Amino acid sequence: MTALKPAETEHRGAGAEAEPGDVGRPRPAEGRARARRRLGPGTPIPAGFLIGPLLLLGIWFLGSAQGWIDPRFLPAPWTIAQTAAELISSGRLGADLLVSAQRFAIGLVFGVAAGVALALVSGLSRIGEAIVDGPVQIKRSIPNLALLPLLLLWFGIDERMKIITIALGVLIPIYIHTHNGLRSIDSRYAELSETVRLGHGAFIGRVILPGALPGFLLGMRFAVTSAWLSLVVVEQVNATNGIGYMMQLAGSYGQTDVIIVGLVLYGLLGLISDGIVRIVQRRALSWRRTLED
Amino acid sequence: MATHTRGLTETTSVRTRGLTRSFEGRAVLDGLDLEVEPGEFVVLLGRSGSGKSTLLRALAGLDDGVAGSGEIDVPEQISVVFQDSRLLPWQRVLTNVVLGLRGGGARTKGREALAEVGLAGRERAWPGRLSGGEQQRVALARSLVREPQLLLADEPFGALDALTRIRMHGLLRALHERHRPAIVLVTHDVDEAVVLADRVLVLDAGRIGTELRIDIEAPRDPSDPRFAAIRTELLAALGVGGPRSDEEAA
């Protein structure tokens, strides 16, 4: 019986024809024979996204403990933790972090405000679009980094230049996605609004703004990432404080551990701010989740 | 685009004279005359492309930019029910019902309207959470809360399953009895027309081809021989099965 199973399986798989004599007889191999081969990636692994990073961390630990990794090249994880603890207790990290977070926040606020304002102007009127959309699209194709020399000349090396650079990076994704959100609102809703005689203000408040919110929040996720990116750049080009400056300084003294603390910090800040936007997204768009679930 | 004038007498709710609408040079409505009495339930039947939706959009004033002429008289207070429920997905059910409604007590009125269509307690639901039938009931509540003198409905039950549609027919008849707006409803479903209408108009080549008054008392039973007779007559007018299609074939 056991020897027969593979042959049976093969037969059923190929022809899918049961032998007449077999009908009704319980066959232990039937369940397996009937199972189709799955072509998809299979069921998701719980917390699977953590496996890769943890594996890397494990290799780092093991490599450092075994002396395979040169500490000048990449210090051991515990050295990094120790350096971080020292930087925190001395207050240096806190001060630099505060400065960086401030630049990030101010740049983000200005960039979002400008991006939304421009998107509204260009999304709600054809003339507005004719005036605004072109310049923004042109700006979009120029990398922020390439603008830096000009911004340095125009605004000097002080705080203003840094905030403007960050805000310019934020403005683009906010504009693009909010404008797209505005324009992809179904025109049937405009028709409906006419039949219920909705006023202009109510139309914007009830239909346009909530309808564009998904686009805006998507733009927000890109904007947050862009703001951190710009921050790294401006803090390394010319600064006397901030995380970027801390890393820059560490670089010239060969303090690899401080550089890595800075990198980890940037990573964490990026993850946290993206997480916050995602939470806001989930709350504000709960109506949409009901459609997508 | 014809002018909407508001000179209606007490015996007419809707009147069109010589209504013409054309798309790319092809006349979809061709000198159409229509009168609807206050409180009358009129169903427009017609094959696809017969101009029934065009007529409805003209009555609703939703055909800006469409070439045409003729006279339209419609009441001040019009509500429109579309084939899709057209609820704003990002507003809760009650907000959708009272959309654009001014004055105090709007939300109370909205709640009452929802209760009338059997959706009391669903005020705070998102439209996406509702079934197709429930969404269309919200759309009905939204149109009724405005106390319209004229209700225009463009295949309002076209996207619903057969069972839900039967239930919606009952609901619409009941709401019509209670509020007595004039109703002009467009459909291509002959049975729906016979179940609902006081009067059925069959549109043909941009004009009213056949007009039929239905005096069967409610609830109308499709197995009633009078029902069957009217259905046969309407199908014939639409060029399906009846003597007229034989004529055409000959």
**Residues of chain A with C-beta less than 8 angstroms from the C-beta of B90:** 210-211, 213, 287-288
- B residues 149-208 near A, CB within 8 Å? none
Q: With an 8 Å Cβ cutoff, are B129 and A207 in contact?
A: no
Q: Which of A262, A211, A213, A291 is nearest to A93 (CA)?
A: A262
**Residues of chain A with C-beta less than 8 angstroms from the C-beta of B142:** 196
Residue A193 C-alpha, separation from nearest chain B C-alpha, in angstroms: 8
Residue B80 C-alpha, separation from nearest chain A C-alpha, in angstroms: 7
A126-140 helix and A159-183 helix, angle to the nearest 10 degrees: 130
H/E element, B96: helix B93-97
Average pLDDT of the residues of chain A: 85
Q: B25: domain range?
A: 4-77+150-249
Same domain? B107 vs B187: no
If you ran DSSP here, which 8-state letter would residue B64 be given? T
Same domain? B94 vs B155: no
- Of B129, B147, B165, which residue sits at a domain end? B147
**Residues of chain A with C-beta less than 8 angstroms from the C-beta of B150:** none
Q: Which of A221, A225, A237, A187 is nearest to A207 (CA)?
A: A187
Q: With an 8 Å Cβ cutoff, are B89 and A291 in contact?
A: yes
Same domain? B72 vs B97: no
A–B interface: beta-carbon pairs under 8 A: 55
Residue A274 C-alpha, separation from nearest chain B C-alpha, in angstroms: 23
Distance CA A143, CA A172 (A): 11
Same domain? B164 vs B53: yes
- Of B147, B173, B199, which residue sits at a domain end? B147
Distance CA B40, CA B15 (A): 13
Same domain? B140 vs B210: no
Same domain? B51 vs B116: no
Q: Are B173 and B218 in contact (CB under 8 A)?
A: yes
Same domain? B135 vs B175: no
B88 in A contact zone (CB under 8 Å): yes
Q: What is the chain A residue with the closest CA to B90?
A: A287
Contacts of A158 (CB under 8 A, 6+ apart): none
Contacts of A178 (CB under 8 A, 6+ apart): A115, A116, A119, A120, A123, A212, A215, A216, A219
Is the pLDDT at B51 greater than 90? The verdict is no
In a domain, B82, yes or no: no
**Residues of chain B with C-beta less than 8 angstroms from the C-beta of A204:** none
Q: How many residues does chain A have?
A: 293
Residue B78 C-alpha, separation from nearest chain A C-alpha, in angstroms: 8
| Phi, psi values for residue A177, rounded to 5° | -80, -35
**Residues of chain B with C-beta less than 8 angstroms from the C-beta of A199:** 100
Cα–chain center distance at A130: 31
- Of B118, B147, B176, which residue sits at a domain end? B147
Closest CB from A188, A202, A211 relative to B100: A202
Same domain? B103 vs B223: no
Same domain? B73 vs B97: no
What residue ranges do the domains of chain A occupy? 88-281
Q: How far is CA A58 from CA A70, A115, A289, in A?
A: 16, 43, 37
For the stretch A90-111, pLDDT in tens is: 988 889 899 999 999 999 999 9
Structure tokens at A80: 């990094």
Distance CA A27, CA A198 (A): 69
Least confident stretch, A29-38, A110-119, B51-60, B63-72: A29-38
User: B52-75 burial string, b = 16+ CB within 10 Å, else e?
Assistant: bbbbbbbbbbbbeebebebebbbb
Q: Are A239 and A162 in contact (CB under 8 A)?
A: yes
Who has greater pLDDT, A40 or B32? B32
Q: Are B140 and B175 in contact (CB under 8 A)?
A: yes
Q: Are B71 and B2 in contact (CB under 8 A)?
A: yes
Q: Is B40 helix (H, G, I), strand (E, B) or coil?
A: coil
Same domain? B110 vs B59: no
In a domain, B39, yes or no: yes
Highest mean pLDDT of the ranges A7-16, A45-54, B118-127: B118-127
Q: Within 13 Å, how many C-alpha atoms sit on residue A277's CB side? A: 19
Residue B135 C-alpha, separation from nearest chain A C-alpha, in angstroms: 13
The CATH fold assigned to A88-281 is MetI-like fold (1.10.3720)
Q: With an 8 Å Cβ cutoff, are B99 and A206 in contact?
A: yes
In a domain, B219, yes or no: yes
Closest CB from B62, B86, B99 relative to A198: B99
Confidence of residue A7 (pLDDT cuts 50, 70, 90): very low
Contacts of A253 (CB under 8 A, 6+ apart): none
Number of domains within chain B: 2
Same domain? B56 vs B129: no
Q: Is B188 helix (H, G, I), strand (E, B) or coil?
A: coil
Q: What is the pLDDT of residue A213?
A: 93
For the stretch A52-97, pLDDT in tens is: 989 999 999 999 999 898 888 889 999 999 999 999 999 888 898 9
For the stretch B66-120, pLDDT in tens is: 888 888 889 988 999 999 999 999 999 999 999 988 878 899 999 999 999 999 9
Distance CA A13, CA B137 (A): 51
Is the pLDDT at A135 greater than 90? The verdict is yes
Q: Within 13 Å, how many C-alpha atoms sit on residue B6's CB side? A: 5
B78-81 and B41-45 strand pairing: unpaired
- B144-B149-B155-B160 Cα dihedral, nearest 10 degrees: 20
Who has greater pLDDT, B103 or B130? B130
Q: Is A28 helix (H, G, I), strand (E, B) or coil?
A: coil
Q: With an 8 Å Cβ cutoff, are B128 and A290 in contact?
A: yes
Distance CA B44, CA B34 (A): 11
Residue A179 C-alpha, separation from nearest chain B C-alpha, in angstroms: 18
**Residues of chain A with C-beta less than 8 angstroms from the C-beta of B101:** 196
B4 in A contact zone (CB under 8 Å): no
Confidence of residue B245 (pLDDT cuts 50, 70, 90): very low
| Phi, psi values for residue A26, rounded to 5° | -65, 130
